[in-house]
Copies of this chain bind each other. A is one copy, B any other.
């Protein structure tokens, strides 16, 4: 009913500094300020805070969030406008990626590719520097150790499992099944279980945001051509995405 700043921060999964900031900018004032200056919050404040954090996770700016919460702006309209900016950003990134790829290709004919074993089920047509940047150098090293630790037989098994999953996805996508049908959903389940074996993914971390991760993973398979290539081209990636989305919404 009456929480201190740290208590409500933990309840909502944020920090006390953030709460002070929201107080400063007038986004969320404490319910009550005691004589000693300590901030206190009640459950109404908690609800408001949770809405703020939800919208923030969607990428909205604090001023936009304030407008929505004050009723000055329609939530759906604000999100729709935000969606436009998100897609615009994605386009800008796609443009930069194309240019950077072109530049790298021009600089060197594609040397220094990743170590020839794949590290987590992708292909090896990628630069090691890129991998290290993407997952961090220690993550790469950890994944490398994990991979080596599997041993010869384990690596064969892992590759087989990965390839099998990939084959089954391609087959399912090609046979006109519904992404939310039983067979595709079984595949999605297998996919998520497979992810649990990949170090560094939220699915491998207890308490990780599996649903959100899986939800976005499908979008990434569609967005990044190299991922989609493992699922029978972009057409297959679309199928995988739809199946994963359906699965995530139902089961996770």
Contacts and interface: CB of A to CB of B under 8 A. Distances in A.
A8 to B, nearest CB: 24
A92 B92 CA distance: 14
Contacts of A75: 107
Contacts of A102: 215, 249
A127 B95 contact: no
Interface stretch (A12-20, A185-193, A227-235): A227-235
Interface stretch (A32-40, A129-137, A146-154, A157-165): A129-137
Range for the number of chain A residues in contact with chain B = 35 or more
A99 B217 CA distance: 11
A103 B219 CA distance: 16
A91 B216 contact: yes
Contacts of A84: 127, 129-135
Interface in A67-94: 75-94
A45 to B, nearest CB: 22
B86 A97 contact: yes
Contact of A96 (B78, B86, B112): B86
Nearest to A75: B107
Nearest to A130: B84
Given A84-B127, A88-B134, 7 more contacts: A75-B107, A83-B97, A86-B96, A89-B93, A94-B216, A98-B218, A234-B238
